[in-house]
């Protein structure tokens, strides 16, 4: 008989039907007469209750059904006598597929700390929290492709290995096949990359944007969704060395179109989670409330599902950098000297305390900040007529800060080359990028969404290491 997934059994109303279920035991409990086995196979947050007659199966077999063991159960779906579930399965046959020594197995039927589970990342898929996150993550991946497909965008695979080191988004991991213990040298004593695999120095990508722009300048509307690598020594709950980024790039879009798309996109993803992952979101919401029990009421976060609906139902606030600075300058915490970095005037980059004030205290909604001073933004952003600000946009979310960073791109060849000179970016190496501005250049825009930051928001988790299966961070590449 073909196995039935636990999620399907729990939805079933076919009382009396004989089925086979396979999965991992979460707990076993019971009395002299009857045992109850909570079985989970990863298809749903809920467990299937298996009822096993003690006399029928005997102590020897039942004792092997420890937390973590893998079993196959043949049995009949019945209406549950207990109150915790609608249906359960009365076992006719139980087979142990994989034993699990309870003294060695680290997972117990109890609450574990997220830090401990990180140390046993190879087993954390077997917990409620991480299986819920994995299912939500999958739903979000699917929803990303759905959204863009429905809008006629084309998914483009941009390179993971790149020879350009001028993407301007941070430190890069080097890629080489050369023997690091015996590096070939040129006559001047420099490392001779002409002998390397690609004949030049190469790195892992920090962004697919530049290649994405090339694609958009022919395909119209494209998006990338791939791994991204940053070798920054960032030790925070919001940064990874290896993460997944979604970067749409659209020809003929100006900054307003870009913002409209970003807002529509985020709302689509959140709605998709609410429509398709309610069981898991409810579990994650309870988990979060449990975790925050010890906190003071004003420090607790908004209930997860309520928070997601709130973002869905409200327009994002759009304002310019200079408007934001004015609000911050006149704000209570600034006047009372409560900011660690007081706002004196225009020009400096906003600190996260300022972003958090705007999003969490002042507007209490997601905020899109635009038109930043050119000095604090990348070379490819389109200059405004004032010659001092660029058409950048950062989407700021409560708790996680910058979830999207994007801009309208500079499409004018001369202006772009000038900016590259000012910022010491070698234009010769970027000839292919500049060619798009020489041949049929058009206004275009795009942005980058950090997929794991979206996951933080949707799941309510606090640490980015818990929303990716195998986090890579400084000093950690385990599993």
Residues 417-436 that bind RNA (CB under 7 A): none
d(CA 337, CA 343): 10
CB of 126 to RNA, least distance (A): 14
136, 128 contact by CB (below 8 A): no
Nearer to RNA, 318 or 453 (CB): 453
Nearer to RNA, 220 or 227 (CB): 227
Question: Pairing mode, if any, of strands 317-320 and 367-373?
Answer: parallel
Listed in sequence order, the residues at least 6 apart from 399 whose beta carbon sits closer than 8 Å to its beta carbon are: 301, 360, 456, 457
Does residue 249 touch RNA according to CB under 7 A? no
CB of 416 to RNA, least distance (A): 18
Which of 3, 22, 118, 271 is the binder for RNA (CB under 7 A)?
Answer: 118
For the segment 436-465, give every residue that binds RNA (CB under 7 A): 448-450, 452-453, 462-465
Which of 352, 375, 388, 470 is the binder for RNA (CB under 7 A)?
Answer: 352
d(CA 93, CA 74): 5
| Residue listed under structure tokens 């010890």 | 294
Does residue 33 touch RNA according to CB under 7 A? yes
Which of 134, 163, 169, 327 is the binder for RNA (CB under 7 A)?
Answer: 169
Give the length of the chain.
479
Does residue 408 touch RNA according to CB under 7 A? no
Task: Return the biggest CA–CA distance within the chain.
Answer: 86
Does residue 353 touch RNA according to CB under 7 A? yes
Does residue 34 touch RNA according to CB under 7 A? yes
Does residue 182 touch RNA according to CB under 7 A? no
Coil/strand/helix, residue 444: strand
CB of 378 to RNA, least distance (A): 7
Stretch that binds RNA, among 78-86, 142-150, 309-317, 358-366 (CB under 7 A): 78-86
CA 101 to chain centre: 34
Does residue 84 touch RNA according to CB under 7 A? yes
CB of 96 to RNA, least distance (A): 14
Which of 402, 415, 417, 427 is the binder for RNA (CB under 7 A)?
Answer: 402
Nearer to RNA, 214 or 396 (CB): 396
Beta bridge mates, 78: 88
Which of 1, 13, 16, 32 is the binder for RNA (CB under 7 A)?
Answer: 32
Listed in sequence order, the residues at least 6 apart from 212 whose beta carbon sits closer than 8 Å to its beta carbon are: 156, 158, 222, 223, 224, 247, 248, 249, 446
Does residue 86 touch RNA according to CB under 7 A? no
Tokens coding 252: 């003929």
Stretch that binds RNA, among 83-91, 210-218, 262-270, 318-326 (CB under 7 A): 83-91
d(CA 395, CA 307): 17
Coil/strand/helix, residue 417: helix
Which of 4, 43, 44, 67 is the binder for RNA (CB under 7 A)?
Answer: 67
66, 47 contact by CB (below 8 A): no
CB of 199 to RNA, least distance (A): 29
Does residue 326 touch RNA according to CB under 7 A? no
Sign of CA dihedral 281, 286, 289, 291: negative
Stretch that binds RNA, among 184-192, 264-272, 345-353, 414-422 (CB under 7 A): 345-353
249, 222 contact by CB (below 8 A): yes
Nearer to RNA, 174 or 237 (CB): 237
Tokens coding 357: 């004030």
């Amino acid at each position: 008989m073909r196995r039935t997934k636990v999620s399907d059994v729990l939805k079933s109303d076919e009382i009396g039907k004989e089925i086979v279920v396979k999965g991992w035991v979460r707990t076993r409990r019971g009395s002299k007469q009857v045992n109850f086995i909570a079985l989970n196979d990863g298809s749903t947050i809920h467990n299937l209750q298996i009822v096993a007659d003690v006399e029928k199966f005997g102590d020897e077999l039942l004792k092997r059904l420890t937390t973590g063991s893998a079993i196959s159960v043949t049995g009949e779906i019945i209406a549950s006598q207990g109150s915790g579930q609608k249906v359960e399965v009365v076992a006719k046959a139980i087979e142990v597929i994989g034993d699990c020594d309870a003294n060695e197995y680290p997972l117990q039927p109890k609450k574990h700390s997220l830090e401990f589970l990180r140390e046993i990342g190879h087993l954390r898929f077997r917990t409620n929290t991480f299986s819920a996150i994995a299912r939500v993550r999958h739903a979000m991946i699917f929803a990303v492709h759905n959204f863009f497909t429905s809008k006629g965008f084309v998914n483009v695979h941009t390179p993971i290995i790149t020879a350009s080191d001028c993407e301007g988004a941070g430190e890069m991991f080097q890629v080489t096949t050369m023997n690091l213990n015996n590096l070939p040298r040129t006559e001047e004593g420099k490392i001779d990359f002409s002998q390397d695999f690609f004949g030049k120095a190469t790195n892992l990508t920090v962004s697919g944007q530049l290649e994405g722009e090339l694609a958009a300048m022919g395909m119209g509307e494209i998006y990338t969704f791939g791994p991204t690598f940053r070798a920054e020594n960032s030790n925070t709950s919001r940064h990874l060395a290896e993460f997944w980024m979604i970067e749409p790039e659209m020809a003929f879009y100006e900054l307003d179109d870009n913002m409209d798309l970003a807002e529509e996109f985020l709302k689509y993803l959140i709605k998709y989670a609410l429509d398709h992952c309610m069981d898991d979101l409810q579990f994650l919401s309870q988990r979060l409330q449990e975790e925050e029990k010890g906190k003071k009421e004003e420090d607790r976060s908004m209930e997860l599902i309520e928070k997601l609906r709130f973002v869905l139902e409200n327009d994002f606030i759009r304002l310019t950098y200079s408007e934001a600075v004015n609000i911050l300058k006149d704000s209570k915490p600034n006047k009372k000297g409560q900011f660690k970095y007081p706002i004196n005037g225009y020009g400096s980059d906003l600190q996260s305390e300022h972003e958090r004030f705007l999003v969490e205290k002042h507007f209490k909604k997601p905020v899109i900040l635009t038109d930043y001073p050119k000095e604090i933004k990348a070379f490819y952003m389109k200059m405004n007529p004032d010659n001092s600000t660029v058409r950048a946009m950062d989407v700021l979310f409560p708790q996680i800060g910058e979830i999207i960073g994007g801009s309208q791109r500079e499409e004018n060849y001369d202006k772009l080359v000038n900016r590259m000179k000012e910022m010491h970016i070698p234009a010769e190496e970027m000839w292919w990028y500049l060619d798009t501005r020489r041949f049929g250049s058009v206004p275009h825009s795009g942005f980058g969404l950090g997929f794991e930051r979206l996951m933080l928001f949707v799941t309510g988790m606090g640490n980015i290491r818990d929303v990716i299966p195998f986090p890579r961070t400084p000093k950690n590449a385990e599993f």
